[in-house]
């Protein structure tokens, strides 16, 4: 029994980091914009998952940085925001790698009521700015 513990642990450690499948989700507005966002996120090497929410003139993108790249989150956010701004100059873009925004974005993906959606996105933008 004791001899099995070490190989088992090693196995768990090694399989934990073996997942290259990217999960990308965009809320349903139709048109080429959602495809465009998906392509941009697909090309971003440093993230493993991303969710984008379009509402009126707002675009909220919540991503998750790869575990070992957690320390340069702000840089990843900045780069992605720059790329998105080039493709969507007419949108007010918010990019975040925070887990809170990522989690809330999942709920917003299913939200159909435009008014509510906008309110929630505004709230998330405010949360992102909070420091303490």
Partner 1 sequence: MEQEKFDKIEQEITPRTPYVKNVLKAFFVGGLICTIGHAITYFYIIFFDFTEKTVGNPTVATMIFLSMLLTGFGLYQKLGQFAGAGSAVPVSGFGNAVISAAIEHRTEGFVLGVGGNMFKLAGSVILFGVTSAFVVALVKLILVSTGVIEW
Residues 89-108, one symbol each (x = binds partner 1 by CB under 8 A, - = not), give ---------xxxx-x-----
End-to-end C-alpha distance for the chain, whole angstroms: 47
127 binds partner 1 per the rule CB under 8 A: yes
Residue placing its CB nearer to partner 1 in the complex, 18 or 74: 74
Residue placing its CB nearer to partner 1 in the complex, 19 or 70: 70
Shortest distance, position 99 Cβ to partner 1, whole Å:
5
Reduced 3-state DSSP string for the chain: CHHHHHHHHHHHHHHHCCCCCCEEEECCCCCHHHHHHHHHHHHCCCEEEEEEEEECCEEEEEEEECHHHHHHHHHHHHHHHHHHHHHCCCCEEEEECCHHHHHHHHHHHCCCCHHHHHHHHHHHHHHHHCCC
Residues 19-58, one symbol each (x = binds partner 1 by CB under 8 A, - = not), give ----------------------------------------
- Name residues contacting partner 1, limited to 53-92 (CB under 8 A): 74-75, 78
Q: Which residues form the interface with partner 1 (CB under 8 A)?
A: 74-75, 78, 98-101, 103, 127-128, 130-132
């Amino acid at each position: 029994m004791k001899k099995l513990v070490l190989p088992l642990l090693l196995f768990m450690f090694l399989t934990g980091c073996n997942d290259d499948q990217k999960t990308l989700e965009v809320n349903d507005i139709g048109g080429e914009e959602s495809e465009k966002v998906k392509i941009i996120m697909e090309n971003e090497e440093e993230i493993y998952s991303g969710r984008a929410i379009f509402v009126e003139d707002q675009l909220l993108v919540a991503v998750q940085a790869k575990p070992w790249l957690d320390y340069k989150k702000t840089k990843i956010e900045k780069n992605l925001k720059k790329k998105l701004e080039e493709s969507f100059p007419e949108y007010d873009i918010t990019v975040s790698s925070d887990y809170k925004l990522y989690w809330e974005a999942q709920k917003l993906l299913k939200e159909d009521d435009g008014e509510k959606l906008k309110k929630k996105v505004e709230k998330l933008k405010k949360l992102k700015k909070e420091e303490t």
